Amino acid sequence: MTTTSPVTPTREPAGRHAGFANLLQAEWTKIRSVRSTVWTLVIFVVVCIGFTALIGWLTETHWDGPRAAARDVRAVADPVGFILGTGIGLGQLAICVLGVLVITSEYSTGVIRASLLAVPRRIPVLAAKAMVFAVLLLVVTEIVAFCSFFVGSAILHAHVQVSLSDSGVTRAVIGAGLYLTVLGLFALAIGTMIRHTAGAISTAIGIVFVLPILSGLLPSSWGAHINAYLPEQAGTLITHTQEQSGDLLSPWQGFGVLCIWTVLALAVAAYLLERRDA
């Protein structure tokens, strides 16, 4: 392997300076050129749509089984949540993993050093990454949300009558994609703070899945209030067809609470990224 095609030194850097659009382009190249990203998204799609169909089918075939009364109440009050709940519940795991991996894989492989040498003012790197990831997630999760809804409602159509024109239904289906997208950004922020894949995934999943359980153990008066403002509990309100009695927040308020959590987490992540040695 002997080589040497001539180098032509251009002392003055030629051409225009790179702008934020170039950074977005670079982050898109990064995200699409690693298999783990692609596979995690595939798993997310399969899990979401697959489990929506599977649970829908099992529910349909065992419609007259035990606990039918409670289920019927739910199916009427919140048909979208009833159809999409399982898929979203499992799919958000994949989204958390993906959000964390997008940044922690840079730390574990050392790519972060290459990234920060290229863009030494670090916050634009995080901003570009978050934007590209958000757009990718929004497209994928909205497609998945609508596919799941159509598949699930088709399977359950004999017992659950629901259409996009019903009050709150379209908002809830779109909301499922919005919730998963913002959750992915929240996980990205956690990954940026913690930098280690295993620790960050544990933390993200702890916040999403375990905190609601813990807050449920608190005395009901204030446990309920804390619970309502947790990222997952507040964020999933937007996926419910209607406000339920006892909800402390409206769907959009709940989504707003999740967004505030995410913005705060990203701000802390940006601060740490800027301050710490790479």
Partner 1 sequence: MIEARDLTKLYGPKAAVDHLSFTVEPGRVTGFLGPNGAGKSTTMRLILGLDRPQTGVALINGRRYRDLRDPLRTVGALLEAKTVHPGRTARNHLLFLAQTQGLPASRVEEVLALVGLQDVADKRAGGFSLGMSQRLGVAVAMLGDPEILLLDEPVNGLDPEGVLWIRNLMKKLAAEGRTILVSSHLMNEMAVTADYLIVIGRGKLITEASTEDVIARSTDKSVRVRTPDADRLADLITAAGGKVVRGAPAEGAGLLTVTGLESSRVGELAASASIVLHELTPLASLEGAFMELTSGSVEFGVPGQHQANAGRDPANAGQDPVNAGEGSAR
Binding site for partner 1 (CB under 8 A): 1-5, 7-11, 13, 15-19, 22-23, 25-27, 29-30, 33-36, 105-106, 109-111, 113-121, 277-278
Smaller CB distance to partner 1: residue 9 or 219?
Answer: 9
Least CB distance from residue 1 to partner 1, whole Å?
5
119: Cα separation from own chain's centroid: 26
Least CB distance from residue 213 to partner 1, whole Å?
35
CA gap 243, 247 in Å, rounded: 7
- Cβ atoms of 274 and 122 within 8 Å: the answer is yes
3-state secondary structure of 276: coil
Token pair in block for residue 229: 């403002």
Least CB distance from residue 13 to partner 1, whole Å?
4
Least CB distance from residue 26 to partner 1, whole Å?
4
The b/e string for 248-268 (b: 16+ C-beta within 10 A; e otherwise) is: ebebeebbbbbbebbeebbee
One-letter amino acid at 50 equals G
Least CB distance from residue 91 to partner 1, whole Å?
23
- Cβ atoms of 159 and 63 within 8 Å: the answer is yes
Least CB distance from residue 124 to partner 1, whole Å?
10
Smaller CB distance to partner 1: residue 101 or 183?
Answer: 101
Smaller CB distance to partner 1: residue 15 or 66?
Answer: 15
Cα-flanking dihedrals φ and ψ of residue 67, to 5°? 60, 25
- Cβ atoms of 258 and 187 within 8 Å: the answer is no
Smaller CB distance to partner 1: residue 26 or 162?
Answer: 26
List, as one string, the DSSP characters of 219-240.
Answer: -HHHHHHHHHTSHHHHHGGGGS
Token pair in block for residue 211: 């905190």
82 burial level (CB within 10 Å; 0-12, 13-18, 19+): buried
Smaller CB distance to partner 1: residue 135 or 214?
Answer: 135
Least CB distance from residue 34 to partner 1, whole Å?
5
Smaller CB distance to partner 1: residue 4 or 167?
Answer: 4
Smaller CB distance to partner 1: residue 65 or 110?
Answer: 110
Least CB distance from residue 20 to partner 1, whole Å?
11
Question: What distances in angstroms separate CA 98 from CA 90, 92, 104, 153, 260, one per listed residue?
Answer: 13, 10, 10, 28, 21
Smaller CB distance to partner 1: residue 14 or 158?
Answer: 14
CA 246, 250, 253, 258 torsion-angle sign: positive
